[in-house]
Structure 1
Amino acid sequence: MIQDIIKKYKYKLFLIAYSGGMDSTVLLYQLLKIKQINPKISIRAIHINHNIHSNSKKWQDHCYNTCKKYNIPLIIEKISVNVIQNIEEQLRIKRYNLIYKHLFNNEILLTGHHLNDQCETLFLSLKRGSGPTGLSAMSNETIFGKTKIVRPFLTKTKKELKKWANLNNLIWIEDFTNFNTNYDRNFIRHNVLPILEKKWPFFLKNCFRTTKICKEETKLKNILLQEKIQKFLHFNESLNIKSFEDLKEEVCKALIRYWISLKNIKSPSYKTIQRIYNEIICSQKNINLKIIIQKNEIRCYKKSLYFIETKKNIKNMIVFWHDTNHKLILPNNLGYIIKNNTEGMNIPRPQNSELINIRFQCDGKILILGKHKQKYIKKIWQEYNIPPWLRNQIPLLFYNNQLVSALGVFVVNQNIKKENQNEWNISWINSIQLNYYDNFIFN
């Protein structure tokens, strides 16, 4: 299997996730054997010390000595997680973040995951009530940033790897935390799979077949959804749901899930997708409704779904612009404002005694330039098609306590223009996407 991987990829740089356990030890030694035949390949290893066992330092030293013996560069990283719940998931996330930091762009990460691991992952997915995507478990190859994770042993059982390790007199460490059945994976490993294997010796192989079928079905579904979703995507990646009421519920939910998958975040739960369907697609009372997904929000505006990064509430913040010769950086990654000679919004220049400040909240009625009637600012936002989640993110220019302009949107009508008051141009430079259909535009 490893030989096939080396033949497949033109570049031959490999980083081994080396815990010192039996699986990664077999992986390391098999790669060393191949390197004897093909010396052009480059091998590095990385060991993550989780600091959750009294022997963690001994295991680290074992990995160090083994790599030193065979002249393999070893990276050692130490992590700790101060959580009680979901510690396995937290450690996994931190572990892969550290590994990614050390990966070269043209280097493949190799892990020692085997068929038993695959079946354990399948059972964990069943426990969570996952669909076909979750039941696909691990892939032989997974995109990992600019490179890949490859799992060459995924069709091999732990018994097969152990047999090879014993035949080659390998020495590895035993992580006794792997016997702690308080962890879900260990419970499945020691209390579930052995019973099933004893009853049905072919059970592990059939689990693998199930994951493969689920993977193929998921791949086919995504190919079909990729084509279908183009009819509903606006150019700014919002999802047009005007005609969703004419689609079957299963199709709607599949499109929503696929649309969210394009954002490269962890797939939301079935319950979350059902909420989006029930509370947004099927409901007429979805005004300003938001559904939280990790650090993001699903919002609906004018029959379109938006995937929004959750922003800090800054509606009570005031930012003073003392030196207008320098740009003013705005909070929440909202860009900056700058004085221009010819471009930007043309507005009255402040008096020398007036303090220029930026705010993000304003109430009451105002009269904007070009209009003949005062209106509440909420009504003005609606007329300009400003979505609710942007209304407290638009910089409002004040002179002292007087609103002058919502930058990029409107200028307040100054009923009595001050004598000899000059004008200047101000631009708000931001990365807010324009929306051709709703026309909320900022300059």
Structure 2
Amino acid sequence: MIEKIIQENINKSFLIAYSGGLDSTVLLYKLLKIKKKKNIQIRAIHINHNLNPLSIKWTKHCQKICIINQIPLIIKNIQIKNIISNIEEKLRIQRYNIFYKNLLHNEILLTGHHVNDQCETFILSLKRGSGPTGLSCMSVKTSLGRKTIIRPFLNVTKKELELWAKKNQLTWIEDISNFQINYDRNFIRTKIIPVFEQRWPYFINNCLRTIKICQKETKLLNYFLRKKIFYFIKFNDCLNIQKFKNMKEDMCTALIRYWLSFKKIKIPSYKSIQYIYKQMVFSRQDANPKIILKNYEIRRYQSSLYFVKTQPNIQNKLLFWHNPKKTLKLPNYLGYLKLSLYGGNQLPAPKNNELINIRFQYEGKILILGRDQKRQIKKIWQEKKIPPWLRNQIPLLFYNNLFIAAIGVFVINLDITDRNYWTVSWESHLELSHDNIFNFY
């Protein structure tokens, strides 16, 4: 399997997730054997979880092996404090975010996950009540944000890896914490699987077969969803749910799940997808429902679902632009305001004694250019099709307390004759959808 992976990715470099344990040690030495025949680039990364008194010794072991074999090694530390529950998941999240940040542009992450790991993951998924997608467990090749992760041992048992390691006289770390059954995975590994194997010797192989069946079923489902989803995704990446009330619930939830699979996040659970469906599709037409997924939100606006990054509340923030000759940096990565000779908004210029300030909230009626009557600003936002979560992200220009413009959206009709004009440009980073930066939460 490793030789095939190398051949298929001959122009790539490889980063090995190297814990020093059996599986990652075999992975490292198998790559070293291939490196003698083929010109491939190998690096390794070791993450110290700082949970075991021997962890520093393990780090030194990995350093020694990499020095002997002339493999560049990255060492990173995780410090998790005051965590009582779900520590395994939190450590996994930290690990994968570290992997992602340290992967080079043309580099593939290789891990030593094997059949036994798959079986443990399968049982954990059963415990959570997962469907076919969750029971598909790990794939040999998957995306890690914009990068790739490959698990070449997913068809190899731990016993086979141990036989190869002993045959080649390798040394590796034995982590005694693997026998602490307060961790779910360790409990499955030491208490459940041995009992199943004793009763049914082919349990692990049958478990692997079920995983492959779930993977094929999920792949087939995604094939049909891929064809259907583009009838519902709009130009700005939102999901049109206008017809969902007339469709079967299973199809709607499948489309929601598939739409979220494009977002480079961990797919929400079955229960969460059901909640999204019921809260978004069947809420009142004038409602503004919001569902939070860690650092992101799913919002509904005008019969569409939007996936947006949660932003800090800045509606009470006040910025003074004391020197308009210099660019003004906006909060929340919204970009900059600057004077422009070409593109931008042509606006009434401030007088010498007026303080130029930027705000992000306004309530009340306004009269904008091109209109003959005042309207509530909420109605103006609706006319301009600005979703509610973006309205407090748009810079509002004031001179003292005089409202001048919502930059890039509308200008206030001031009916003035004693002012000059200037052009203000907003170099905006504002997006309707999320920012595509990977975060393995």
> What TM-score, normalized by structure 1, do the two folds share?
0.91
Residue 422 of structure 2 aligns with an amino acid whose one-letter code is: W
Supply the distance in 2 between the matched residues of 1:255 and 1:182 (Cα, whole angstroms): 37
Q: 1:270 is aligned with what amino acid? A: Y
Q: Which residue of 1 aligns with 2:127?
A: 127
Counterpart residue number, 1:302: 302
- For residues 434 and 77 of structure 1, do their structure 2 counterparts lie closer, same or farther at Cα, with a shift above 3 Å needed? closer
Work out the CA distance in 2 between the residues paired with 1:93 and 1:286.
37
Counterparts in 2 of 1:57 and 1:401: CA distance versus 1, 3 Å: same
The 1:326–1:6 alpha-carbon spacing in structure 2 relative to 1, beyond 3 Å, is same
Unaligned runs of 5+ in 1: 436-443
**How far is the alpha carbon of 1:34 from its aligned partner?**
3.6
Q: Secondary structure at the match of 2:263?
A: coil
Letter in 1 for 2:423: N
State the 1:12 CA deviation: 6.2
For residues 302 and 178 of structure 1, do their structure 2 counterparts lie closer, same or farther at Cα, with a shift above 3 Å needed? same
Partners of 1:280 and 1:286 within 8 A in 2:
no
Deviates more, 1:320-329 or 1:341-350: 341-350
Q: Which residue of 2 aligns with 1:66?
A: 65
The verdict on how the C-alpha distance between 1:77 and 1:343 changes in structure 2, with shifts beyond 3 A counting, is: closer
Change (3 A) 1:234 1:165: same
Aligned-pair CA distance for 1:9: 2.6
CA distance in 2, matches of 1:401, 1:28: 66
Q: Which residue of 2 aligns with 1:8?
A: 8
Cα distance, 1:286 vs structure 2? 5.6
* Residue number in structure 2 paired with 1:143: 143
Conserved 8 A contact 1:109-1:149: yes
Aligned-partner residue type, residue 138 of structure 2 = M
Tell me whether 174-183 or 160-169 shows the greater mean CA deviation: 160-169
Indicate if the aligned counterparts of 2:133 and 2:214 stay in contact, CA closer than 8 A. yes
Preserved CA contact (<8 Å) 1:49 1:77: yes
The offset of 1:195, in angstroms, is: 0.6
Measure the CA separation in 1 of the matches of 2:103 and 2:370.
58
More moved, 94-103 vs 236-245: 94-103
Contact 1:279 1:286 in 2 (8 A): no
Alignment-derived partner of residue 40 in structure 1:
39
- Answer yes or no: is the 8 Å Cα contact 2:10–2:40 preserved in 1: no
Describe the superposition over 1:323-377 as per-residue Cα deviations: whole angstroms up to 9, x where unpaired: 1112222111222222233543232222111101111111222222332222222
1:154 matched residue in structure 2: 154
Q: Does 1:254 align with 2:254?
A: yes
Whole-angstrom distance in 2 between the partners of 1:387 and 1:73: 49
Q: 2:315 and 2:145 mapped to 1: Cα distance? A: 36
Unaligned runs of 5+ in 2: 434-441
Partner of 1:422: 420
Q: Which residue of 2 aligns with 1:438?
A: none
How far residue 56 of structure 1 moved from its aligned partner, in angstroms, is: 0.9
Q: Which residue of 2 aligns with 1:53?
A: 52
Encode CA deviations 1:293-341: one digit per residue, 9 max, x unaligned: 1211111111111111111111111111111112222111222222233
1:231 Cα offset (Å): 0.9
Within 5 A, what are the aligned runs for 1:10-409? 10-11=10-11, 13-36=13-36, 38=37, 40-82=39-81, 83-145=83-145, 147-285=147-285, 287-409=287-409
Structure of greater Rg: 1
SS at match of 1:397: strand
CA distance in 2, matches of 1:50, 1:383: 53
Query: C-alpha distance in 2, partners of 1:162/1:156?
Result: 11
Which letter maps to 1:372?
D
Aligned-pair Cα RMSD in Å = 2.1
Contact 1:12 1:40 in 2 (8 A): no
Deviation at 1:266, TM superposition (A): 0.9
1:52 aligned counterpart, secondary structure: coil
Q: Per the alignment, do residues 247 and 39 of structure 1 end up closer, same or farther by CA in structure 2, a change over 3 Å counting?
A: closer
For 1:5 and 1:412, the matched residues in 2 are separated by 62
How far does residue 178 in structure 1 lie from its aligned partner after superposition?
A: 0.7
In structure 2, C-alpha distance between the alignment counterparts of 1:195 and 1:64, rounded to whole Å: 37
Shift of 1:380: 2.3
Secondary structure at the counterpart of residue 389 of structure 1: helix
Q: Is contact 1:50-1:79 (8 Å) kept? A: yes
Closer, same or farther: CA 314–41 of 1 in aligned 2, 3 Å? closer
Q: For 2:342 and 2:396, how far apart are their aligned partners in 1?
A: 21
For residues 424 and 51 of structure 1, the distance between their equivalents in structure 2, rounded to whole angstroms, comes to 58
> Residues 427, 6 of structure 1: CA spacing in aligned structure 2 closer, same or farther, 3 A cutoff?
closer
Local SS of the residue matching 2:109: strand
Aligned 8 A contact 2:100 2:147 in 1: no
| 3-state secondary structure, aligned to 2:230 | helix
Q: CA–CA distance in 2 between the matches of 1:79 and 1:93?
A: 11
Could you tell me whether the CA contact under 8 Å between 1:397 and 1:406 is conserved in 2?
yes
Deviations 1:175-220 (CA, angstroms, capped at 9, x unpaired): 1111111111001101111111111111101111111111111111
Q: Give the Cα–Cα distance (whole angstroms) in 1 for the partners of residues 370 and 31 of structure 2.
A: 74
Deviates more, 1:425-434 or 1:18-27: 425-434
State which drifts further: 103-112 or 314-323: 103-112
With over 3 angstroms needed to count, the CA separation of the structure-2 counterparts of 1:60 and 1:343, relative to structure 1, is closer
Give the Cα separation in 2 of the matches to 1:12 and 1:289. Answer: 45
* Contact 2:308–2:432 (8 Å) recurs in 1: no
Flag the 1:42–1:327 CA change in 2: closer, same or farther, 3 A: closer
SS of equivalent residue, structure 2 residue 291: strand
Over the matched positions of the two proteins, sequence identity in percent amounts to 58
Q: Which amino acid counterpart does residue 262 of structure 1 have in structure 2?
A: F
> What is the CA deviation profile of residues 140-182 of structure 1, one whole-angstrom value per residue up to 9, with x for unaligned ones?
1223355432222211221222222233333222111111111
Q: Offset of 1:434 from its aligned partner? A: 8.0
**What is the CA distance between 1:433 and its match in structure 2?**
5.3
**Aligned partner of 1:250: which letter?**
D
1:322 partner amino acid: H
Secondary structure at the counterpart of residue 297 of structure 1: strand
1:221 partner SS? helix
Please state how far the C-alpha of 1:222 moved relative to its aligned partner: 1.3
| Corresponding letter in the other structure for 2:225 | L
SS of 2:5 mapped into structure 1: helix
Letter in 2 for 1:239: L
1:104–1:370 Cα change, 3 Å? closer
Deviations 1:62-88 (A, max 9, x none): 222223333333332222222222221
Judge which range, 110-119 or 421-430, deviates more: 421-430
Counterpart residue number, 2:437:
none
SS at the partner of 2:408? Answer: coil
Amino acid paired to 1:139: S
